């Protein structure tokens, strides 16, 4: 049985004064059967991990550099992230792939660095609207999975998040059949690559305009083990209902 996960990506939002949202999540989900992860901007990692120590909410980062150290102004290594007490890092998010040109090979290198430093890598995949409409979604996502996921990955070191780019922050979501089709393909590819035991155990998240009113149906879809949530994770009153829906799924 795969343990469900609700992960929140704050992107470039948040401040120390707003970390009280974590208190609300801790209070509402103290006995949660799910893994709850919040990924704030890098400057908030230490105050967030301190605030959540020993509780049900884990902290992750939004990106890392593949190298351990060096002349990389503005970058943060996986080791630095682990040193804050965080346990996860998102790599390969579409905003990084599009705005910063992160390739599959670079995403894989970042994931390797994360795993080597004891972090769980949340590897993101997803197609644009034009790629979806051209019938290229499944081949593209299959290629991203093959190129972005490290060979040494296990269910304990890897989470895969499918986020159709055209659904992120737009209010649009794929049909449940489309989500099921992609997640079934990802599951099959993971099983083929890592074997049945590992491939069946790696968690697959859906991300893209997940809201309290559509979460239950998404979580009832085969091979959806949780969600990677953007804007709705910034407020406990928005994120908690999504987590509750996951807990009931």
pLDDT (tens digit, 9 = 90+) per residue, 158-167?
Answer: 999 999 999 9
**Is-catalytic flag, 93?**
yes
Q: Give me the mean pLDDT over the 27-49 stretch.
A: 97
**Rounded Cα gap, residues 140 and 127, in angstroms:** 7
User: What is the model's pLDDT at position 173?
Assistant: 85
Q: Indicate if 200 belongs to the active site.
A: no
241 burial via Cβ count (<10 Å: 0-12, 13-18, 19+): middle
For residue 197, what are the β-bridge partners?
none
pLDDT bin (cut points 50, 70, 90) of residue 172 is confident
Whether pLDDT at 124 is above 90:
yes
Residue 23: φ, ψ to 5°: -65, -40
Q: Which residue has the tokens 């083990």?
A: 225
Query: From residue 37, how far is each of 5, 94, 122 by CA, in Å?
Result: 8, 19, 11
Please, which pLDDT band fits residue 176 given cuts at 50, 70 and 90?
Answer: very high
Instruction: Please state the domain count of the chain.
Output: 1
- Mean pLDDT of all residues in 192-216: 96
Residue 170 or residue 140, greater confidence: 140
pLDDT of 171 > 90? The answer is no
The DSSP code for 211 is: -
Rounded to 5 degrees, what are φ and ψ at 80? -65, -40
Q: What is the pTM of this model?
A: 0.97
pLDDT-derived band at 244, boundaries 50, 70, 90: very high
Residue 148 has pLDDT above 90, yes or no: yes
Cα 127 to its chain centre, rounded Å, is 16
Selecting among 29, 93, 183, 244, the annotated active-site residue is: 93
> Residue 173 is part of which domain span?
5-248
10 Å Cβ neighbour count for 156? 10
Is residue 59 classed exposed, middle or buried when 0-12, 13-18 and 19+ CB atoms within 10 A define those classes? buried
- What pLDDT score does 168 carry? 86
Phi then psi for residue 51, to 5 deg, are -70, -30
Query: Are the beta carbons of 210 and 168 closer than 8 angstroms?
Result: no
Q: Is 192 exposed, middle or buried (0-12, 13-18, 19+ CB in 10 A)?
A: exposed
Averaged over 211-227, what is the pLDDT?
A: 96
Which pLDDT belongs to residue 1?
A: 84
Q: Is pLDDT at 217 greater than 90 in this prediction?
A: yes
Torsion over CA: 181, 167, 169, 127 (sign) = positive
Kindly tell me the number of DSSP H helices and DSSP E strands found in the chain: 11, 8
SS3 46: helix
Please check the confidence at residue 170 and state whether its pLDDT lies above 90: no
Indicate the pairing of strand 5-9 with strand 35-39.
parallel
Handedness of CA 149, 242, 45, 13 (dihedral sign): positive
pLDDT value at 67 more than 90: yes
Residue carrying structure tokens 């269910």: 155
Residue 39 φ then ψ, to 5°: -115, 90
- How much of the chain exceeds pLDDT 90, in percent? 96
The CATH number for 177's domain is: 3.20.20.70
Q: What does pLDDT average to over the chain?
A: 97
- Give the model's pLDDT for residue 229: 97
Catalytic residue among 65, 95, 127, 163: 163
Q: Give the model confidence (pLDDT) of 76-118 as tens digits.
A: 999 999 999 999 999 999 999 999 999 999 999 999 999 999 9
């Amino acid at each position: 049985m795969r343990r469900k996960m609700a992960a929140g990506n704050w992107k470039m939002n948040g401040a120390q004064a707003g970390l009280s949202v974590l208190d609300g999540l801790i209070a509402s989900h103290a006995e949660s059967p799910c893994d709850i992860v919040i990924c704030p901007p890098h400057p908030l990692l230490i105050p967030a991990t301190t605030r959540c120590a020993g509780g049900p909410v884990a902290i992750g980062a939004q990106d890392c550099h593949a190298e351990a150290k060096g002349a990389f102004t503005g970058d943060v290594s996986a080791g630095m992230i682990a040193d804050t007490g965080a346990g996860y890092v998102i790599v390969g998010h579409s905003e990084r792939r599009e705005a910063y040109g992160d390739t599959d090979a670079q995403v894989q290198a970042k994931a390797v660095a994360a795993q080597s430093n004891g972090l769980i890598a949340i590897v993101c995949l997803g197609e644009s609207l034009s790629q979806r409409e051209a019938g290229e979604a499944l081949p593209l996502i299959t290629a991203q999975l093959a190129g972005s996921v490290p060979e040494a990955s296990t269910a304990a070191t890897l989470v895969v998040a499918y986020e159709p780019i055209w659904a992120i922050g737009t209010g649009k979501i794929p049909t449940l059949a489309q989500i099921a089709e992609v997640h079934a393909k990802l599951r099959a590819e993971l099983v083929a690559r890592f074997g049945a035991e590992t491939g069946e155990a790696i968690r697959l998240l859906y991300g893209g305009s997940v809201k309290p009113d559509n979460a239950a149906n998404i979580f009832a879809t085969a091979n959806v083990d949780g969600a990677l949530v953007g804007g709705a994770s910034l407020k406990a009153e928005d994120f908690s209902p999504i987590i509750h829906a996951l807990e009931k799924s």
